[in-house]
Structure 1
Amino acid sequence: MNGTIAASAVKYVLGASEDPERLARETGLSDHELPSRVPADAVDELWTRAARLNGDPDFGLTLGRAYQPGAFGLLDFLFLSSDTLAGAFGAAVRNVGVLSTGGSYGWSEHDGLVTLSRSLPTQNRHAVTFLLGWQLALVRVAAGKPITPVHVGLAMPAPHRHGDLAEAYGSPAVDFGRPANSLTFRRSELEIPLVGADPVTAAMLRRRAAQLLPAEESWRDRVRAYQAQHLGDLEAAARHFAISPRRLQELLKREGTSWRRELEAVRGDLAVEMLGDGSLPTAVIARRLGYSDERAFRRAFRRTYGRSPQQHRGGA
């Protein structure tokens, strides 16, 4: 699992536990010894153990419903000081790395509706349900009135009962098993002036966020990491990153590469590893790497390394 979570978010979950000290011992995440960034897989375990310790199967949802904007500091105040909800979500998209890295944000518009999607570096249902509760709490405080999403999507399997989710999010349209977590609003609602709009404060906070953002992983690196695990097609990768295939190609082009070029590079690296095994026939390697047949694999390998798979295996 890739990604990191800011220590402030980890402390927030620890503080919501009925026994923070025990939770810290069980997860190795002491409130007094936390690094500034915590690996996402450790936080995944934190959510699971916190729910068990509290005896609350809906721990993430409970925490999201009770969230008071401001607890996450800089990112919350960037949202609240924006001019409109559209501007607030834009600030969140650009600066979410202050709070967490890994996954991605997406933004799409269709027929007067805007969908904001967020894939996380975890599928932990407590993290997922809290995420949307946190975002809706910010929306409602920033707008100064209740705003109901037209649709809510969750990147998790449907629980046995989910009436509480519909009630918490204020939307009867809640779907599960989505490629990313999402909130859909009417476009007109995103232009509502926010009650705490403060352009001077917002500009100051943006400068501070720029100083705190961790070094961003390139799209080339993200795509290569995805391809090394899945070797999927462009459309599947785009769904994973919650953006359109065209947008993903544009982002790679900016970095001087393409989906096909990176896929061939990853296939080449994996082929070398498999050939080093010595026991795998080249036909099996070709199939595992997604080539149409062994001949296509041999041609691709020769283009990359200047020799055939058999010559490579023989040390020629």
Structure 2
Amino acid sequence: MFEQTVSGFWLKGILASAQAQGIDQESVMAKAGVVSLPQSANERVPLDATVNIWNAAIELTQDPLFGFHMGRQFRPNWFHLIHHLWANSPTVQQAIETTLKYQALISDGGDLSLQHQDNSMSNKAVIEYQPRAAKLAFSYHQIDAVLAILVSLIRWSVDDGFTPTKISVPHQQPEVVEELESFFNCPIEFNSPQTLIEFDAVWLDFPLIGADSDLLNMHLQLADQKLAELGRVNLSAQVISKLSVLGQFQNLSKEAVAEQLQTSARTLQRKLQQEGTSFKELSDSLRKSLADQYIAQNRSTSDLVELLDFSEISSLHKACKRWFGMSLQEKRKRKEN
């Protein structure tokens, strides 16, 4: 099991928030028992040392909403490489999904997931956050910071008017809650069994202004390299990497990918099952994700057939119906609206 660590840029965000309240970083570090900070994004700090910094900052500031205030002061460049991946993703959904894939570059302290709940009653999207502590327990401040940052990221990307429909947190309601309500501008469920941001799924299709597919592909390759260096690349991620080269789908067989990964097709399938997926599911999911990206970029139908490696146009149309529950033409119209 690898040691859980956190990017140095994340720590600097905590210290910057304390400094904004008149507490210098030396005082926080001394109280936390941390001698020095990483000087680059490539350097990491053990997760428990990060928890100590959180606790020291909270105690010194005496701020009951310290984590929330830290999240509100968030700046995209705190996330370094993740910032570039987000900014150059074509849609909000792509930005969120890419961030989920590479979240370990920021911290090993939690897992994020995205679910799309589309039914006759509602069309909602939900981002769930599950803290993953090492030896020291997390405080509610860390959870509040993550939620405030995620909402800020979406607002920064597309529209300051983005408003969740509900926020759910596992901790008790603090005495001072007006700031939280004003910022999120939606009902907040306290003492919840889950940590969630719920919002209208229409936001998932919003395009990111200034997104550049070439820059995205360049940073994706760098992110894959950084994950590998951290030892955080699971088998599913390795398979996806083999199936996608510079954003173009590679219709490789399970046997061909297994050979590239220096294993057998049977072993590959067994290990993917242990990760809760299969080669077929990964291949289809990647194709769907790339299709969504290309449609957002207004790529022609012939480009889609080529880039997604379909044998004929009819196969593409059938896949769109299966993936999105609508025709390619209807999907394009929805992106335009």
Q: TM-score, normalised by structure 2?
A: 0.61
Give the corresponding residue for 1:121.
132
Matched-pair contact (CA < 8 Å) for 1:69–1:137: no
Q: Relative to 1, partners in 2 of residues 1:108 and 1:5: Cα closer, same or farther, differing over 3 Å?
A: same
Alignment match of 1:209 (pick from 209, 213, 223): 223
Q: Relative to 1, partners in 2 of residues 1:50 and 1:102: Cα closer, same or farther, differing over 3 Å?
A: closer
Alignment match of 1:20 (pick from 5, 18, 25): 25
Question: Per-residue deviation at 1:60?
Answer: 1.0
Question: Per-residue deviation at 1:69?
Answer: 2.0
Pairing 1:273-288 to 2, within 5 Å after superposition: none
Matched-pair contact (CA < 8 Å) for 1:78–1:206: yes
Q: Relative to 1, partners in 2 of residues 1:169 and 1:21: Cα closer, same or farther, differing over 3 Å?
A: same
DSSP-derived class of the 1:71 partner? helix
Matched-pair contact (CA < 8 Å) for 1:153–1:180: yes
Deviations 1:134-167 (A, max 9, x none): 1111101110432001111113233234232121
Give the corresponding residue for 1:85.
92
Q: Relative to 1, partners in 2 of residues 1:102 and 1:54: Cα closer, same or farther, differing over 3 Å?
A: closer
Matched-pair contact (CA < 8 Å) for 1:3–1:103: no
Deviations 1:39-93 (A, max 9, x none): 2222122112102212322111112112222222111221122111101100111
Deviations 1:256-282 (A, max 9, x none): 5599xxxxxxxxxxxxxxxxxxxxxxx
Paired amino acid for 1:10: L
Percentage of matched positions with identical amino acids: 23
Paired amino acid for 2:231: A
Matched-pair contact (CA < 8 Å) for 2:124–2:198: yes
Give the corresponding residue for 1:4.
5
Paired amino acid for 1:27: A
Q: TM-score, normalised by structure 1?
A: 0.64
Once the two structures are overlaid, the 10-residue window that deviates more, 194-203 or 2-11, is: 2-11
Paired amino acid for 1:116: I
Partners of 1:117 and 1:19 in 2: CA distance: 33
Paired amino acid for 2:128: S
How many residue pairs get aligned? The number is 225
Partners of 1:162 and 1:74 in 2: CA distance: 33
In structure 1, stretches of 5+ residues that fail to align are: 220-251, 260-316
Partners of 2:176 and 2:17 in 1: CA distance: 24
DSSP-derived class of the 2:127 partner? strand
Matched-pair contact (CA < 8 Å) for 2:123–2:201: yes
DSSP-derived class of the 1:190 partner? helix
Matched-pair contact (CA < 8 Å) for 1:3–1:121: no
DSSP-derived class of the 2:208 partner? coil
Paired amino acid for 1:13: I
Question: Per-residue deviation at 1:101?
Answer: 1.2
Larger Rg: 1
Partners of 2:233 and 2:147 in 1: CA distance: 25
Give the corresponding residue for 1:153.
168
RMSD: 2.6
Give the corresponding residue for 2:34.
29
Partners of 1:57 and 1:169 in 2: CA distance: 17
Q: Relative to 1, partners in 2 of residues 1:74 and 1:49: Cα closer, same or farther, differing over 3 Å?
A: same
Give the corresponding residue for 1:298.
none
Matched-pair contact (CA < 8 Å) for 1:76–1:138: no
Paired amino acid for 1:191: D
Paired amino acid for 1:70: N
Question: Per-residue deviation at 1:212?
Answer: 1.3
Do residues 174 (structure 1) and 188 (structure 2) align? yes
Q: Relative to 1, partners in 2 of residues 1:207 and 1:33: Cα closer, same or farther, differing over 3 Å?
A: closer
Matched-pair contact (CA < 8 Å) for 1:10–1:43: yes
DSSP-derived class of the 2:76 partner? coil
Partners of 2:65 and 2:275 in 1: CA distance: 42
DSSP-derived class of the 1:168 partner? helix
Partners of 2:176 and 2:38 in 1: CA distance: 38
Give the corresponding residue for 1:62.
69
